[in-house]
Each structure stands twice: as structure tokens, then as C-alpha cells.
Amino acid sequence: MDVSIPETMSAAVIDKHGGPEVLHLGAVPVPEPKRNEVLIRVESAGIGVWDPEIRTGELKLGEEAFPEVLGNDGAGRVVAAGEGVTRFRPGDRVYAFSMAGGFYAEFVAVKEDHVAPLPHGVDPLEAGALGADGVTALRGLEDQLQLRPRETVVIFGASGGVGHLAVQLAKRKHARVIAVASGNDGVELCRRLGADAVIDGHSEDVVGAIRHVAPSGVDAALVLTGGFDRALASLKPSGRVAFPNGVEPEPRPPHGIRARGYDGTPGRDVFERLNQLIEPQPFHVELDGVFQLAQAAEAHRRVEEHHLGKLAFRVGAS
């Protein structure tokens, strides 16, 4: 695949920390892929709920230098490969997740092990919002909860970015899923995604509803939003709890049950496991808003409001 790579590119950048208004469109150098890195022409990029904290300086995920390009996941085509790359070549369609940022741009350089082939059945635009949240969901379900077939898992925050993917992944692991969602629209989303039972965390008696659905108790809980400690009393004495680091307040399960905090770190193994679960049948990434890079400030205002799934940028042609 012969692709002309320019010296500079358009990107949504910040020159200082602050509110959404510090985000603006700028011209920055196209990164050169280092050893074991690939250069991706970005077609879509995810907008993480944590991105505003990076913008304000409250959260630091890597080295910081202005102008800074945010964004931890995206999808597109490989256009160049650094020395030592063996799994990808120019023309390959991929999605990726990197803690180093840089996806709010036309091009991004990413470590080869933090890149995966685009799964069959996933829309290329949706794939831009899959990497970070999909990896975080699977790390929780498999690595921390070690969820097994026919077990009952309750997912708190099930209509959010990580949560709605976790609902689908847990079902593909043949678990029984109780989804605690946000609002009527969140309830409807989780029902469409195949949850066995859905509870509105805003308006229903969550404790009573879980006990009604699972009178003998639940085996595991993936906690993606705080404030549901009372509902963790529905866990069996052998129950397990996991939550991504950053959830506040941290869950406090009943005495004798440990809540495992974890990081949704990318890696070749977790991407391979994720694709194996995704590919057998169509998989949905809910996009509640799609923006252009020039609308980055607007996108950051929107991401702090109620929304389902995730928001994304459409960067290039898919």
C-alpha cells in the first residue's frame, strides 16, 4: 500500500491545562514510528470519560509536553512500520489502545503489542471507541473476576463505555448478566444487548431488584460507578468484586469479600482474547455522539454529561 505521509498533520491539541476551551485544532509533526511501533492513519478515535481530567491536569497517564494530543484509543489503517515490527504491514486495518495518548490526530504511532486487527463484524467507526473500554471490560471479567459459564454477574454502570461492552462479553462467556444501568435509555440499551435482567440505578430499588432476580445471591460484581455498596450485600459469601482504578468512591463489599482494583492495561494477549470473543457474531459499540476534531471542545463538554456508551471523533474516511 503506497501512502504519502505528510510532515505535519491536524490534531486537537492543548497548549495548557484548563477547561474545554483550551482544546483547539493545530498543526503538529507526524510522529515517526520507533522500533516495534506502527504508524496508523486514524479514521476514528474514542473520547474517554477520563479525558477531561487529563485536559485539566488532574490525571497524568504518561509524559507530558505541550502541545499535547489527547486520546487513548482509535482505529484506522497502518501506513508505516518501525524496525522489528512483524505482525502488521501497511494497509492493515486495525484498532489500538495506548496509555501514551495521541489519537486526537490524523496519525498516531503505537507499540505493536498495543494494536490489534479490526475484528470481523465491527464497524470501523465504532472500532475507534473499542480499545480502551473493551480491554478494561475484559480485564475485569476474566483477569480479576475469573467469570465462569452459568455464573451470575452484576454490572454496575452497565450502560456506560466499559459497561455496555462488559454486558456483551459476559454473555459471550455464557454468564447470567444483571445490568444496573443509568436511566430509561440505558435500560433499553442493556436490554438490546442481551442482559438477562436490567435495573435502573436511578429510579429503582437496586438492592431489592437484585435479590428478586437472584435470591440465592450473585457470584461476581463488576463495579464501574460508585455508590452501590448496599447492593453488594447480594453477593454470595464466595463472591468476587472488581473495579477499574479511578472509580470513586471505591466499592466496599461485605466483610470477608475483597474488592480488587485493577488497571485496564493494553497488551497483545488481552487483545487476542478480546477479538476471540468478539468475532463469532456481530458486536456493538454504542456511540452516543460523533464529532470532528475541530469540535473537540464541544465533545469534552458533552462527555461530562449523561450519555450512553462512548463518544468518538470521525477523523478520516473509513
pLDDT tens by residue, 179-238: 999 999 999 999 999 999 999 998 899 999 999 999 999 999 999 999 999 999 999 999
* Domains in the chain, number: 2
The verdict on residue 275 lying in a domain is: no
In this structure, are 139 and 67 located in the same domain? no
Q: Cα(251)–Cα(225) distance, rounded to whole angstroms? A: 9
Q: Residue 124's domain spans which residues?
A: 8-130+285-314
The verdict on residue 36 lying in a domain is: yes
Tell me what pLDDT residue 121 has.
Answer: 86
In this structure, are 43 and 94 located in the same domain? yes
In this structure, are 48 and 121 located in the same domain? yes
Region for 37 from its dihedrals, namely left if φ exceeds 0, alpha if ψ lies in -120 to 50, beta otherwise: beta
In this structure, are 103 and 156 located in the same domain? no
Q: Side chain identity at 288, as an amino acid letter?
A: D
Give pLDDT tens digits for 43-99.
999 999 999 999 999 988 767 789 999 999 999 999 999 999 999 999 999 999 999
The verdict on residue 240 lying in a domain is: yes
The verdict on residue 26 lying in a domain is: yes
In this structure, are 53 and 97 located in the same domain? yes
The verdict on residue 84 lying in a domain is: yes
The verdict on residue 55 lying in a domain is: yes
Give pLDDT tens digits for 143-167.
999 999 999 999 999 999 999 999 9
